[in-house]
Structure 1
Amino acid sequence: MSDNQSARDAAMTLLAQYGEDASVIATLRAAEVAAMGDAEALAHWDAVIAFLETGPTSEQLN
């Protein structure tokens, strides 16, 4: 699975579970991994946040 696909899947899961609060949850997770010094996980959560900020397309919702 590509990094983009993984970030998209995580974002879609957060949207399904938390709705409009998905970005807040992703930001909290990013802060947690940043505090642990995990640069790879931080990059993943940054990609999730970017996906959530641009919003999924109708194709991505199906």
Structure 2
Amino acid sequence: MKKQKFTRNYKGSFPISKRSPKSVEEKLEVVRLLLNQEQSLTQLSKQYQVDDQTIQSWKMK
């Protein structure tokens, strides 16, 4: 039986994603607010803690 190797980060612990997954409903709400010009892209980005480019990609889908 082979032992599985894990890559550790510089602090010795396993890397954890900083992303917090957004539900489809949350994404739709953000895009709806943006399209209806109820909030700016910058405001939504800060409020939902998501990068501007991420919101733009949701909008394109």
TM-score (norm. length: structure 1): 0.29
Instruction: Report which of the two structures shows the higher radius of gyration computed on alpha carbons.
Output: 2
TM-score (norm. length: structure 2): 0.30
